Structures are given as C-alpha cells and as structure tokens.
Structure 1
Amino acid sequence: MLRIPHASRTFGAALLGRLSYGMVPLSLLLSVKDATGSYAAAGAAMACFGATSVTLSPVRAGFIDRHGPRRALPPMAAAYAVLLAALGLVTAGGGAGAAGLTALAAAAGASTPPLGPVMRVLWSDLVPPGLLPRAYSLDSVAEELLLVTGPLLVGAIVTVAPATVGLGVGAGLILGGTLALVTSPAAGAGKGSRATTGRAAGPTPGVLRGNRPMKQAVIGVAGVGVCLGALHLLVVAFADEHDAAGLVPWILAAMSAGSAVGGLAYGAVAWRAPGTRRLPVLAGALGLLLAATGLAPHPYVLLGCAALFGVFVAPGITTAYLIAEESAAPDSRTKAGAWVNTALNAGSSTATAATGLLIDNAPLPLCYALAALPAVLAAAALALAGPQPRLAPAKSRRLGRAAVEAGRRDEEEDAAQRRVAGEGGE
C-alpha cells in the first residue's frame, strides 16, 4: 500500500492528525477534573464533547463532499485547535466554571475534522479497486493502534506536566496533520475526484434514504460498537470480581493485538462474498464471543478470549466502511464513511452506559450475554435481509471498460471493412 505514489505521505499526515483523537479525550477529562475538582463536571464535559463530535460528524463530512478537503478541512482544524487551546488555557488557570468548560468542550467536539472518513475516500482514489479492502484494513488497524497509543502518551505527559499540556499537543497534532494532508497531491482532486472511479455522478437526497446496503453497514457496525463499548467495562468488572485489576490493561491490549492481526489478515484475503454477507457473520461472531467470554473461569482465560474477540473487530469495521464506499453516491462518500463512524461510536457509547446499569443489577455472566444480544440480533436481521442484488463497483468498472473496448474494436472493424470495400471498388 505504502509504495503506491503519494500514499505514504497522505496516510502519514492523516495518522499524525488522528493521533489527536487518542489523546484529547483523556487530556480533557483530566484537565476539567483538575480545574473543577469534580468528576461530575469532567464527565459532563466529556459527554458533551463526544455527543457533538459523533452526532455532527455526517454534517461536517457533508461540507467535505461539497467543497473538497482542501477548502473545508483547514477551517475545521483551525477552529478545533483554537478551542482545544482555549480549554487548556482556561483549565490551567483554575477556578473555571463547569458550565463554561462544558460549553467549550461541546464546541470543540462540534468542529472535529473528519480525518478518518476523508482518508478512506482518498484511499479509494489512490489504490486500484482490488486493493481497496487491503487499504481499509491497514487504515482500521492503524486507527486502532492510535487509540491505544494516545492515552499512553497522555499518561507519559502527566508524569512530568499538567494534563492541559496534552490538550495543547492534541491541538498541534490535528493542525499539523490536517495541513500536511490537504497539501498532499492525493488531496488535489478535491471536490469531484469521484470522476476517477468511473461511477455516475449526481446528487442524492440522502446517504441512508433508499440505500439498503448503507443501512446494513450502519446496523452491523453499530452492533460491533455495542460489543466494544460493553467489553471495556465488563473486563473491569470481571477483574474486580477476581481481584486482578492489574490485568485490565493487558486484557485490553490483547484485544487490540488481536484486532491488528485480524485486520491485516483480513485485508490480505481476496474475498468473493460481498460485504453485505460478510458483515453479519463478523458481527454475529463478535456477539457470540462476547457472550462466551462471560463464562471464563479465570482472568488469564479472559485474556485469551479478548484476543480472539479482537480478531473480528477490525474486519467488522473494515467491512462496514467498504460497504459504505461501494454504495455511496459520487458526491457523498465522505458523509457515508462518517455515518459508519457515527454508528460505531454511538453503539459504543450507548453500550457503555447501559452496561454500567447491568453490572449493578445482574450477575456478570448474564451481563455479558445481554451486552452481546444487540450484535447477534443485528447479525440475524442482516442475514435474513440478504444482500441487495447489484454489481460491485470494481466489477461495474471492469464491465464498463470492457464495453468501451468492445465498442472501439467494433468501430475499428467497421472502418477496416469500409476500407476493404473501397479498395475493391477501385
């Protein structure tokens, strides 16, 4: 993937900016808690930051689709960086009101630049259609590792400096990564780059309206998000029950390692079944594994289960993004990817809140089973619905090129026959 022209520069710039996403949440939480002395205020600020970031993601992506990354991304990144810097300055000063910090956090979340969806659109322009699953798998694995690396960097920062420094570093990363991304030659096509893919152009009334594959991607990835959000809290509860709190980071790291291995292996396979058939299998496997994990007799067994669980995480996310890319209209690719991202994060956040209530009121194995139920039900619904009959984009493009080539050959044959006929007449 990285040997493809402009790929390494573009992908590196996107990863630099996206590292901010791994650092900012923990930095914000710690900064607000230190400034107000209240976990409730910190939680409220985080909730508003996450809510505006997730719910407005398709809106921001729509601006990218309409105006192109070079015009739309820099203002978003500048606003996001300024608001993060303001949060850092206000919290560093101490004595800040919880309401004001929450409002600033909500504004920062609303302006988060959608670097992930933009990079996936650029991947589809950079690589041949047959390599797109491999590119998306690489992207999903890298994003997973960034989300692990970000909090570790914040942990290193707070050992030598205030947590507000993490907000400043996050602001610098997003600004530098975005500027590097939009100056890459791959982003030069901007608005209208879809023409290079051979798909018909033209506006559509909505990403989800009348688009069954896109709805299937959203439902399936929401089930993946539910499993992810629930597992993080369930692992903590399991470790507490077995007096093994020190194993929690290792268990979560095992899940991330499994996801990396699964994502890279998944991208290396040339799958024949369409994504709309693969996604329910992956979501269902995640749900069943989560339910089975609740029966683990020992934390070390749970560690192995988490690693196996992770093997299906990156493939599930990758498949949802591939379905979105294949089914999106020419002028809504970024928004389609943003909807997948929104569904994933919404499922994770909702599951985290619901799982907290379950743990307080039900036996732990039952909590695992109930948390797994939405993913299993989503997988069953998608499997019963079946894929919508349609040509995959790669196949459509192959057929389109074949038709053009056949027409050209026919014209050449007709011209040759006319020349022969003319020569015979003479």
Structure 2
Amino acid sequence: MPAPAPTPTPACPSYAAVLQVPYARRTFTAALAGRLSYGTVSPAVLLAVVRCTGSYAAAGTVMAVFGAAAVLLMPLRAALVDRHGPRRALLPMALLYGGLLCVLAAVTWRPGTPEVVLGAVAALTGMCAPPLGPTMRSVWAELVGDRGLLQRAYSLDGVAEELLYVVGPLAVGALLTVAPPAAGVLLSAALIVAGTFAFVTSPALAGVRVPAGAGPGLRLSRVRGLLAPVVVAAGMGLALSAVYLLVMASAEQWGYGDGVVPWVLAALSAGSAVGGLLNGAVNWRVAARVRLALSALGLGPALVAAGFAPGLWSLTVAVGCAGFFVAPALTTAYLLADEVAAPEVRTQAGAWVNMAVNAGSSGGSVVTGLVLGRVPVGVCFVIAGVVAGGAGVVSCLPVRRGWSRSSPRP
C-alpha cells in the first residue's frame, strides 16, 4: 500500500486537523507507545541497579554509561534509518534493544551481580536504542505537506513527548507496589518492541522510500544551517538540567522538604505544555530561525528572575514562566532542522538536535553539581539564564547552509 500523499492545509489548520491526516493517529499513537519506554527505563534501571548493588554511586555510573551510549550514538543510528528506511532499520534495533533490556533486568533481579557486568550490559543496551522520536518527526514531514500544519504536528509531538516523561516514572512507581524494580526494565522492553512493531507496520510507512544518495554520515561541522538549532538545543538542555538541581537546593535553603520539589518542577512542565500548544496554534509569519532565537532569549530573563525569587511561591511562578519558552524553542529547533535538511538525512538532522538536548542536560548536571555549594544558588540561576540567552544570541549569527556527506564505507 503506498503512503498517503501529503495533506494540504485546511482553511483553519488546528491540532484536530493534524490528527485527521490519514494514518496520523495510528502512527503517532504507536510511536508514543514505543517512546514511553524512554520515560520508564531511566527510573527503572536506576532503582534496579540500586537494589542489586546497594550503591547509589554504582547506579549513577551505570546510568551515565547507559545515557552516554544512547545519546552519543543516536546520529549514527538515525543514519541507519535514513540509509535503510524505518521498516528495515527500526525493528531490528528495537528487538536487540528490548532483548538487552531483558538481560539487564535478569542481572539486576537479585543482588550480587558485579558492577562491571552491569556497566557492560548497560552500555550495549544504550548503543541499540532506536531513534523513534527523530523518525516520527521525519514521518510527520512526509505526511504533512504544509509548513504551518507541520508546525502544529511538531508542537503536538513535543508536548506529548514531554508528558511521557511524567507518565513514565508514575507507571514505574505503580509497578513497584507489586514487583521489584527490574520488572520496570521488562516493562520498558515490552513497550519499545510492541510500539516499534506497531509503528513500522503502519500504512503511513509503507511507501516511505530511501532517497537516492541516502546513507553517508552527516558531518555536523559542515552543516551550517543545522548549527543554530543544535546550539539552542544544547543550551536549553544545559540550563534546564541546572534548574532541576537548583530548585532542590533552593527548597533545602528555605527549609522545605523534598516533597515540594516535584510541584515546582511541575510548574516548569505545565508552562512548557502551554507554551508549546500556543506556539503551534499561531500562524507565524516570522522565520523559524528568528522564533528559535527569541524563544531562547525569552528563557534567559525568566531564569535570571528565578535567581532573585525571595521564596518558594515566587520561584514557582518564575520557573513556570521559564517553562513557557521551552517547548516552543525545542519544537522550532526540530522544525528548523527539518527545514535545512536534505531528504536523505532528515532523520539524522533531527537526531543531532535530540542529541544536543540530552548532551547539554548531562553536561549541565555535572557542571551544576560542581558549582553548587561554591556559588550562591541565585547566582547559579543567573548563569543558567545567561547560557540559555547566549545560545539564542549565537543562533542569530550569520551562517551559510550547506551539506557535506562523508564518503560511503566500503
């Protein structure tokens, strides 16, 4: 069955119009089911390793290895999708990733497994994680022919993805009432395999063909048009990871318990969801690159304001206002990456943005952990705001678009 032709824009495009695109609901639902695995796997693996080793240090090391392998190799896995097509590339990755998650669940089910074994299995598992998010955004670009409707599709996708990282830990927490943490790792395996199978068997992917010339790796240093979204994504990831730690430090400084922290961070997620939905609902006449810079520049002052918050309620408001710029910035980054991408490297372009967010988040956690305690919390908020705003300034610098493909491997 051939893939549906790109859908023209309705008179008043909306989120409902996105879901009315042929096969969109089935394909999007399947992709979200698979991507929910990424919302459950981190807390499940962390708790399973702690239960197995009795060491938070060991758990942190295993998670760092797992995360690094998953994030840093994402563009390479996306290149395989571009080269062989989602049907031929994603399902083997999902089966291998799911199988290795089962192995990880087995070695963490009972105490006593050496830490080096846990780290090796975690590294191998992370290396195989299928890039469902970048692939789904690539499929949106195939399904939706108009840039305005595509903006709504990306906004809906971004907000839904953020909610997965709220639902995932809750699902693991519910499972822990009746099963050990390793069962959460098995749940993650089941989600990724079932979701990926449903995704690749959707009729929307039946006619997706590999463009001529697809396959060679993408050199980020030579893709000038992609640098702006990657820089902003990295800055956003770094700033947001700092916010998580700084909110905890602020609550402790003011004498509150850890129980208030999730509520403050919920304001960040709520602001992001509202901002993302409003961003997608507006018929923008401003270029995507300008909107990207403005979103990053808007996040900066909001984080600076959080640094001057005198109490918990004002901090919550400032963090919520900061969240308002998060989803629009990331959605626009993905949209701009798709805009500058040649068809044969579309999935890779989105994967570079995704990798930048996660790499920035990991780096931000490390840097904030080192700085916190030596520098006042308020000053740390200001630094995070400067980083986010600085990324917006860098994205405004003149660039030249161009694609450079590495030589095919023999």
Distance verdict in 2 for CA 1:53–1:389, change over 3 Å: closer
1:245-256 aligned at under 5 Å gives the runs 245-256=258-269
- Counterpart in the other structure of 2:152: 134
- Counterpart in the other structure of 1:218: 230
- Counterpart in the other structure of 1:183: 201
* Alignment partner of 1:144 is 2:162: yes
Separation in 1 of the partners of 2:214 and 2:245? Answer: 44
Q: Secondary structure at the match of 1:4?
A: coil
* Alignment partner of 1:208 is 2:225: no
Q: Is the 8 A contact 1:221 1:283 kept in 2?
A: no
- Counterpart in the other structure of 2:127: 110
* Range moving further from structure 2, 238-247 or 59-68: 238-247
- Counterpart in the other structure of 2:46: 29
* Structure 1: 4+ residue segments shifted above 3 A: 201-205, 386-390
1:45-64 aligned at under 5 Å gives the runs 45-64=62-81
Deviation at 1:214, TM superposition (A): 0.5
Per-residue CA shift, 1:362-414, capped at 9, x if unaligned?
1111111122222222222222x147699xxxxxxxxxxxxxxxxxxxxxxxx
Per-residue CA shift, 1:242-264, capped at 9, x if unaligned?
12232111111111111111101
Separation in 1 of the partners of 2:303 and 2:87? Answer: 42
Counterpart AA for 2:155:
S
Separation in 2 of the partners of 1:230 and 1:87? Answer: 29
1:275-314 aligned at under 5 Å gives the runs 275-314=288-327
Q: Size of the alignment, in residue pairs?
A: 383
- Counterpart in the other structure of 2:8: none
Per-residue CA shift, 1:204-231, capped at 9, x if unaligned?
7735243322011101111111121111
Separation in 1 of the partners of 2:73 and 2:209? Answer: 21
Separation in 2 of the partners of 1:296 and 1:315? Answer: 24
* Alignment partner of 1:273 is 2:286: yes
Q: Secondary structure at the match of 2:188?
A: helix
Counterpart AA for 2:242:
A
Separation in 1 of the partners of 2:221 and 2:262? Answer: 41
Deviation at 1:158, TM superposition (A): 1.4
Counterpart AA for 1:6:
Y
Report percent identity of matched pairs. Answer: 50
Q: Is the 8 A contact 2:218 2:348 kept in 1?
A: no
Q: Is the 8 A contact 2:268 2:320 kept in 1?
A: yes
- Counterpart in the other structure of 1:228: 240
* Alignment partner of 1:120 is 2:133: no
Deviation at 1:331, TM superposition (A): 0.6
Q: Is the 8 A contact 1:54 1:346 kept in 2?
A: yes
- Counterpart in the other structure of 1:242: 254
TM-score by length of 1: 0.87
Separation in 2 of the partners of 1:101 and 1:205? Answer: 31
Counterpart AA for 1:320:
A
Q: Could you list the runs of 5+ residues in structure 2 that have no partner in the other structure? A: 1-17, 403-410
User: Quick check: which one's helix share is greater?
Assistant: 1
Q: Is the 8 A contact 2:292 2:329 kept in 1?
A: yes
Counterpart AA for 1:374:
V
Distance verdict in 2 for CA 1:124–1:374, change over 3 Å: same
Separation in 1 of the partners of 2:273 and 2:244? Answer: 17
Deviation at 1:203, TM superposition (A): 7.2
Q: Could you list the runs of 5+ residues in structure 1 that have no partner in the other structure? A: 196-200, 391-426
Counterpart AA for 2:83:
R
Q: Is the 8 A contact 2:225 2:401 kept in 1?
A: no
Q: Secondary structure at the match of 1:93?
A: coil
Counterpart AA for 1:29:
L
Q: Is the 8 A contact 1:203 1:330 kept in 2?
A: no
Separation in 2 of the partners of 1:157 and 1:206? Answer: 41
- Counterpart in the other structure of 1:415: none
Q: Secondary structure at the match of 2:109?
A: helix
TM-score by length of 2: 0.90
Q: Is the 8 A contact 1:207 1:328 kept in 2?
A: no
Separation in 1 of the partners of 2:253 and 2:313? Answer: 14
Counterpart AA for 1:274:
A
Separation in 2 of the partners of 1:123 and 1:14? Answer: 11
Q: Secondary structure at the match of 1:105?
A: helix
- Counterpart in the other structure of 2:111: 94
Separation in 1 of the partners of 2:51 and 2:140? Answer: 41
Counterpart AA for 2:245:
L
Distance verdict in 2 for CA 1:90–1:204, change over 3 Å: closer
Q: Is the 8 A contact 2:228 2:394 kept in 1?
A: no
